[in-house]
Amino acid sequence: MTTGTLHTGDSVFHPKHGFGTISGLTRLDPADPMQHTVSSKMEDYYEIRLAQNETLFVPVSRAERAGLRRLTNGIEAVAVGLGTPAQSLPENSRQRIAELQARGQIAEPTALIQAVRDLLVQRRGQALSNGEKAWLDRSCEHLSTEAALVDGITLSQARTAIREVVNRLNAG
């Protein structure tokens, strides 16, 4: 997925640092980005205010490679994505968890939705392992946070809506 040009005020997700908002664009020296000195090697950086009240600087030229993406998954997008045809996952539980975790780190906005869908469809009617339950809980929290930000609703409302969709899919 291409990030396109992100703008001040855009809500974004970074796979290693979580949710945030573009607070500006700044020029920094990549050799020492925390020093606001002028050099011939200046590069543009997205300045991102993270949910934890921290600031992250991501080079514009490497934003897509870093997995930075604009938020797009509201409740409706999650519901639609969970309802699409599933793909198979490995039968071995360790391999399955490893694949789910890897797919959850892909910058494509629908990758996590599809991974949740695939786990629920493949394991329908079977008890989830502790690792699968933990992964599913974290993934649903991630989807709920994004949906709340995209749809402008409370996190509690988003959690309830996501849980209803997941429960419907899990029931068959």
pLDDT 10s per residue in the chain (172 long)? Answer: 444 689 999 999 998 898 999 999 998 877 665 655 555 678 899 999 997 889 999 999 999 888 899 999 999 999 999 999 999 999 998 999 999 999 887 878 899 999 999 999 988 878 889 999 999 999 999 999 999 999 999 999 999 999 999 888 877 6
We report the CATH number of the domain holding residue 79 as 1.20.58.1290
The answer as to whether 98 is a domain residue is yes
* Three-state DSSP state, 69: strand
Q: Is the same domain home to 20 and 100?
A: no
The answer as to whether 2 is a domain residue is no
We report the CATH number of the domain holding residue 32 as 2.40.10.170
Q: Is the same domain home to 107 and 146?
A: yes
The answer as to whether 61 is a domain residue is yes
The full DSSP string for 98-157 is HHHHHHHT-SSTTHHHHHHHHHHHHTTTSPPPHHHHHHHHHHHHHHHHHHHHHHT--HHH
Domain with 163 in it: 75-171
Read off the pTM. 0.82
